[in-house]
A and B are shown apart, each in its own frame.
Chain A
Amino acid sequence: MTVNGTRYDRDVEPRTLLVHFLREELGLTGTHVGCDTSYCGACTVIVDGRSVKSCTYLAVAADGADVRTVEGVAVDGTLHPVQEGFWERHGLQCGFCTPGMIMSSVALLEQNPAPGEGEIRHAIEGNLCRCTGYHNIVRAVEYAAAKMRGEEPPAPDWEVPS
């Protein structure tokens, strides 16, 4: 399969899950294992353009596929607008869900460059954040969407005490 633009040829046991292949075989540990039951979305990667849960995906079924992980979204050390949005709008606290949130958000913005707040919330329905950080995650995606459209991102919705 191709992962973040690099082709890898490996023999795997049929039961090897894509997330374990990425983490243990290729050393790409940015993709996290959270609930391991296909609920939490921490393991989200993009396979052939579609966001999927790599904990519920046989690596062998991704034979020949184009896989993108969180390690592949920044280009030459420059953060992807979605990563920048999470930074600028405090879209993370502990950071565990963040790789999955970023991949779901990247997939959303590739399909819908101008999502409304409801569409953003619907798009990250399959990603759980236990720091209860959804509000700022939505703001982070709005920031990224504006940047990717070449527009000025909306101002942060917090006030800095004077």
Chain B
Amino acid sequence: MYPRKFDYTAPRTIADAVAALAGDEGAKVMAGGMSLLPLMKMRLLSPATIVDIGRIDGLDRIEDRGDHIAVGALVRHAETAASDLVQTHAPALARAASLTGDVQVRNKGTTCGSLAHADIAADQTAAVIALGATMVATGPGGTREIAAADFFVDTLTSALAPDEILTEVRIPKGGSGSAYDKLGRRGGRSDYAVAGAAAWVDKTNGSITAARVAVTGVGTKPMLVEAVGAALVGTDGSPEAIAAAAEHATEGVTLLEDLYGSEEYKAHLAKVYAARALTEALGG
């Protein structure tokens, strides 16, 4: 299957890439292409121009910035998963990256590309929300920061403008733990999430002082479920407290039935995986 014809440009700087996008309404950004090219081959999407950012220097790094780590636009899933920095400060993201696609997909697809694509059943979306990450968008007017919880607007729709590029995601350090777990469409943890949840917790002197849980796969977009964190704060994080908090896992979520499960089944899974992610984040 060939995509429809398109023009191709591979700028060497972010500024040139943004200029190429700003001057062409039919242009789309490509990093690894693992989300974009299948859509183009099935002709669900036919951009007039591909702006390939793969040859821009400096975007392929994971950096320690003191109070946060930064994952650049060209960091591949496999690199995110294997990074000591990510494993140390954002285990939920490392785990989600390790469960994205398969080996070949992880070797080419990028963390930021998956986030910008905003698939409802992607893995790393939930992780960055739970981790309280900040998305950095670069456009003609410079950069702006978007909270991860506000970044996923709707199905396949992010808060990025057509002429903006997600140039990096920043994950704050801190907290006592984070985790991600899912049920995959091919059973076990393979393939997109039928349902998945990411959790981040901070526990001080035996008491939960802050907690965030995000779910993916179950609704019209990956999202923060504030009620779970709110129910857990002030408790001791015991299995009973986790189970009670996880009961809130679909509050505010617009559940979506699909080939892989009914709304009722997905609601059940959301609670199960919220509890599992919280348990693992708390070291259980």
Contact = CB atoms under 8 A, between A and B. Distances in A.
Interface string A55-79: 1111011000000000000000000
B2 to A, nearest CB: 6
Interface residues of B, number: 28
Nearest to A45: B104
A37 to B, nearest CB: 6
B103 A126 contact: yes
Interface stretch (A12-20, A88-96, A130-138, A154-162): A12-20
A14 B103 contact: no
Interface in B72-117: 78, 101-105, 107-108
B8 interface: yes
A60 B8 contact: yes
B107 A50 contact: yes
Nearest to B186: A125
B239 interface: no
A126 B104 CA distance: 7
Contacts of B52: 58, 60-61
B190 interface: yes
Contacts of A37: 38, 41-42
Contacts of B4: 15
A17 B1 CA distance: 9
Most buried by B among A17, A124, A125: A125
A57 B108 contact: yes
Given A14-B50, A52-B107, A52-B108, A36 B33 contact: no
A13 B5 contact: yes
A43 to B, nearest CB: 9
Interface of A: 13-15, 17, 20, 36-38, 41, 44, 50-53, 55-58, 60-61, 104, 107-108, 122-126
Given A15-B2, A56-B37, 6 more contacts: A15-B3, A55-B41, A56-B41, A61-B10, A61-B30, A104-B103
26 contacts: A15-B5, A17-B2, A17-B37, A17-B41, A36-B1, A36-B41, A37-B41, A38-B34, A38-B37, A38-B38, A38-B105, A41-B102, A52-B104, A52-B107, A52-B108, A53-B108, A55-B41, A56-B37, A57-B108, A58-B33, A60-B52, A61-B52, A61-B54, A104-B104, A108-B103, A122-B103
